[in-house]
Amino acid sequence: MAVTRLSYMSIYALDIVASEKHYIEVVGLRVTGRRPGQVYLQAHESQDHHCLILNAADRAGLHHIGFKVNDINDLAEAEAVARDWGLVTRRVADEEVLGQGQGVMITLPSGHVLNLFYHSDRLGYSYGMNNPDIVLAQVEGVTPVTHLDHALLVGNDCDKTVKFLMEALDFNLTEMILAPDGSPFAFFLTTSSTIHNLAFAPGPSNGLHHIAFYVNDRADVIRRADMLKHRKIATLGYGISRHGIGGVTTTYFFDPSGNRNEFQCGVYEASTIRGNVPPIVWAGENIPRGTFYYEATIPPDFFEIVT
Ligand SMILES: [Fe+2]
């Protein structure tokens, strides 16, 4: 099974017009498609059709997550293995998701729905594919993010979910947090050389803690923290911080529906040979330093606010 990096997040939007504006003007994505009640967006430096789908709804939170596979035959294999694990699956028709081929949706024990698919239409980079200029001609007020990087999900049965992703779909565990009693608490999983595509922590079923977008460097995170304050975007109390986990520079903010976003940069390169490098392990009492390295304390509602 060859699952590539996180491809897209499909999320709910209470006010889809406000959300579209947010993801264009604050995050720096471009609109790549529309359907009634849906807007598709992509980073300027990514070629596939979308990295984010906004779905008009009377709630916030996560609709489903998309991962691409490297071989069309992986879809049937994933479907069979998911059923062996007792998980609910559903075939997704060609173009049911705009710009995308058929897929297999798997409902994970944590309540999250994973859509594995093979084909995405290629739109090319905003810079162009022939003799490109490295400077974008038209960007609406913000330097673009480079790509959708990862999501922290919360749900029930995280350990069973992680076991399935590792044993059935070949995800690799890069870091892990232990609860005070020493049992596994939170998990950081990757399918590529980045430290995580998905992280899991306990919480309400199908919960979304945050969606992270990658930016060029630490100075870019600082400029974006200024921009968030200037635009009066709801943010985490901390401005710029650093995670001990992964060592990344980070700042958090919220979209108009209350879904938490993150700008981050500076990940280390993880081994692409799955299972070859043991995970970094954080003992429970170090969670504050692992979460916010500078402050070494966690804002009271940081783990409580999920959508
Ligand atoms: Fe993150």
What local confidence, expressed as pLDDT, does residue 141 receive? 60
Helix H segments across the chain? 16-25, 73-84, 158-167, 218-230, 287-291
Q: Which residues of the chain have pLDDT under 50?
A: none
> Could you read off the pLDDT of 278-302 as tens digits, one per residue?
899 999 888 899 999 999 999 888 8
Q: Positive or negative, the Cα torsion across 11, 16, 22, 25?
A: positive
C-alpha 151 – ligand 1 centre gap (Å) = 6
Overall CATH class of domain 3-117: alpha beta
C-alpha 132 – ligand 1 centre gap (Å) = 31
**283: region left, alpha or beta (phi > 0 left; psi from -120 to 50 alpha):** beta
Q: Which two tokens stand for residue 279?
A: 């995970």
**What's at 40, amino acid-wise?**
Y
Asked if residues 201 and 154 have their Cβ atoms less than 8 Å apart, the reply is yes
Tell me whether the CATH fold assigned to 3-117 matches the one assigned to 147-291: yes
C-alpha 220 – ligand 1 centre gap (Å) = 16
What local confidence, expressed as pLDDT, does residue 127 receive? 85
C-alpha 18 – ligand 1 centre gap (Å) = 23
C-alpha 101 – ligand 1 centre gap (Å) = 29
Q: Does domain 147-291 have CATH number 3.10.180.10?
A: yes
**What's at 236, amino acid-wise?**
L
Q: What is the pTM of this model?
A: 0.95
Q: How far is CA 127 from the centre of its chain?
A: 24
What local confidence, expressed as pLDDT, does residue 277 receive? 85
C-alpha 177 – ligand 1 centre gap (Å) = 14
Asked if residues 306 and 208 have their Cβ atoms less than 8 Å apart, the reply is yes
C-alpha 80 – ligand 1 centre gap (Å) = 31
Domain boundaries, the chain: 3-117, 147-291
What local confidence, expressed as pLDDT, does residue 140 receive? 61
**Residues counted in the chain:** 307
Average pLDDT value for the chain: 92
